[in-house]
């Protein structure tokens, strides 16, 4: 069932339809939880493109989330509508990614990961200290939608779901394209890719810009949804760490990995929060350790292995 393309597309469409109508059947609390899951899946998808497919770990990707959130907050504070601010937020994030990406994407492995953390930290400080524009460390408020909370939450639920579907579809199409082969060749061997005539710098910068685009839109939606944001919250390195864990658990370099991972990790931490209130950090840490140890390829990787083994067994039976 995992190899038949038509069946897969059918299953995915059924899944999307179920999620569209889900808010009618679950409580408002779960609508919010699932909205967060969609958001994490989007951010994780951005990291998946960079790390899972291209081999560059963007540890500071939360900065695009923060940029998206803050441009939205500032623009809406000036009286613009959300839909007018959204392209601005995305454009700013893309500009930031290109500006930072050109020097920093020359760095490999560890160095790139650390440089992005540094840039994220520096941006956080700028936002904290530019009090006149951003409201400083105290945070800032956004206009509240003039509808009942239930309608508002459903609206953001659907918006986040749409963003997740669009992000996943876009990245899927990119990966299957010629450009995507370039990206994957960078992970396999950057020098070889370069000498084969692939413009690696161009590929890397564009890939990071795409990653920044979707992450910043998630940030913009988040800011409008929460209607209050603080710099520590939206530039938190934990956002990147969480989404890296999500990618690992779902399966790095697999298109559905981030979505599956987001559901598993978020539902798991729901359970952990409610049962081990005082030990939730330790339980979360130990869970991560166990998963990294025993499911290193992630859930999609484990499923693929399982399917492959079963097919091998079947083939043996047939040949006997």
CA pair distance 34, 22, nearest whole angstrom: 10
What are the structure tokens assigned to 251, written together? 């399966």
Q: Is 44 in the site for other proteins (CB under 8 A)?
A: no
What are the structure tokens assigned to 96, written together? 């930031």
Among 296, 305, 307, 314, binds other proteins (CB under 8 A): 296
Segment 45-64, which members bind other proteins (CB under 8 A)? Answer: 51, 57, 59
CB of 254 to other proteins, least distance (A): 14
CB of 115 to other proteins, least distance (A): 5
Q: Is 273 in the site for other proteins (CB under 8 A)?
A: no
CB of 280 to other proteins, least distance (A): 8
**307 near 2, Cβ under 8 Å?**
yes
Q: Is 314 in the site for other proteins (CB under 8 A)?
A: no
Neighbouring C-beta atoms of residue 135, cutoff 10 Å: 21
CA pair distance 196, 206, nearest whole angstrom: 19
Segment 100-129, which members bind other proteins (CB under 8 A)? Answer: 103-104, 106-107, 109-111, 113-115, 117-119, 121-122, 124-126, 128-129
CA pair distance 205, 103, nearest whole angstrom: 10
CB of 158 to other proteins, least distance (A): 32
- The H or E element containing residue 64 is helix 62-77
Among 11, 169, 173, 281, binds other proteins (CB under 8 A): 281
CA pair distance 205, 201, nearest whole angstrom: 6
Q: List, in sequence order, the alpha helices (H) in 78-199.
A: 82-104, 109-129, 131-134, 149-176, 178-188, 190-195
Segment 188-247, which members bind other proteins (CB under 8 A)? Answer: 237, 241, 244-245
- Interface positions with other proteins (CB under 8 A): 51, 57, 59, 103-104, 106-107, 109-111, 113-115, 117-119, 121-122, 124-126, 128-129, 237, 241, 244-245, 248, 252, 278-282, 284-286, 288-289, 292-293, 296
């Amino acid at each position: 069932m995992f190899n038949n393309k038509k069946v897969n597309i059918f299953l995915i469409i059924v899944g999307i339809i179920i999620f569209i109508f889900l808010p009618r059947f679950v409580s408002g609390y779960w609508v919010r939880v699932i909205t967060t899951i969609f958001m994490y899946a989007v951010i994780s998808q951005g990291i998946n493109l960079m790390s899972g497919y291209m081999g560059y770990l963007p540890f500071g990707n939360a900065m695009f989330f923060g940029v998206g959130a803050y441009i939205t907050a500032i623009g809406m504070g000036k009286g613009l509508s959300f839909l007018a601010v959204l392209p601005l937020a995305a454009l700013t994030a893309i500009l930031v990614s290109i500006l930072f990406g050109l020097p920093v994407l020359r760095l490999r492995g560890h160095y790139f990961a650390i440089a992005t953390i540094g840039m994220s930290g520096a941006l956080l400080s700028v936002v904290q200290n530019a009090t006149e524009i951003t409201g400083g460390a105290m945070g800032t408020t956004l206009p509240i939608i003039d509808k009942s909370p239930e309608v508002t939450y459903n609206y953001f639920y659907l918006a986040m779901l749409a963003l997740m579907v669009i992000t996943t579809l876009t990245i899927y199409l990119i990966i299957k394209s010629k450009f995507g082969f370039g990206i994957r060749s960078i992970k396999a061997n950057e020098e070889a890719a370069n000498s084969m005539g692939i413009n690696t710098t161009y590929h890397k910068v564009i890939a990071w810009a795409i990653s920044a685009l979707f992450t910043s839109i998630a940030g913009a939606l988040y800011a409008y949804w929460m209607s209050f944001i603080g710099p520590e919250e939206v530039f938190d390195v934990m956002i990147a760490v969480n989404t890296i864990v999500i990618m690992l658990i779902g399966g790095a370099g697999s298109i559905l990995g981030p979505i599956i991972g987001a559901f598993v990790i978020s539902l798991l931490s729901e359970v952990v929060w409610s049962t081990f209130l005082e030990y939730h950090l330790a339980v979360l840490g130990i869970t991560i350790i166990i998963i990294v140890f025993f499911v290193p390829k992630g859930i999609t990787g484990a499923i693929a292995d399982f399917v492959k083994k079963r097919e091998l067994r079947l083939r043996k039976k047939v040949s006997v």
